């Protein structure tokens, strides 16, 4: 669980970087013949991030946070 200070910092970072959508600091290097894993595990859907997820942030501890516009929250 994130503390309120961590959530405030995360929200600030997401607001600052919202115009850099699609830019990743930690992009994986995929081979040209990479394929989609059809048996992969879905970790987020409408029930967890809402109908209109706006941004996704993964920190160094691999904690995934998503801005939920519908509920106006970070999950």
Question: What average pLDDT score do residues 45-67 get?
Answer: 76
Query: 30, 24 in Cβ contact below 8 A?
Result: no
Of the candidates 69, 57, 47, 72, the one whose C-alpha atom is nearest the C-alpha of residue 2 is 57
| Residue 56: per-residue pLDDT | 77
Which is higher by pLDDT, 47 or 22?
47
Report CA-CA distances (Å) from 31 to 22, 23, 24, 27, 35.
19, 19, 17, 13, 9
Average pLDDT of every residue of the chain: 71
């Amino acid at each position: 669980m994130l503390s309120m200070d961590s959530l405030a910092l995360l929200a600030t970072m997401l607001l600052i970087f919202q115009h850099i959508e699609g830019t990743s600091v930690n992009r994986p290097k995929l081979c040209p013949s990479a394929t989609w894993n059809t048996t992969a595990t879905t970790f987020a859907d409408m029930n967890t991030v809402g109908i209109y997820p706006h941004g996704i942030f993964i920190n160094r501890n691999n904690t995934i946070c998503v801005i939920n516009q519908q509920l106006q929250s970070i999950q």
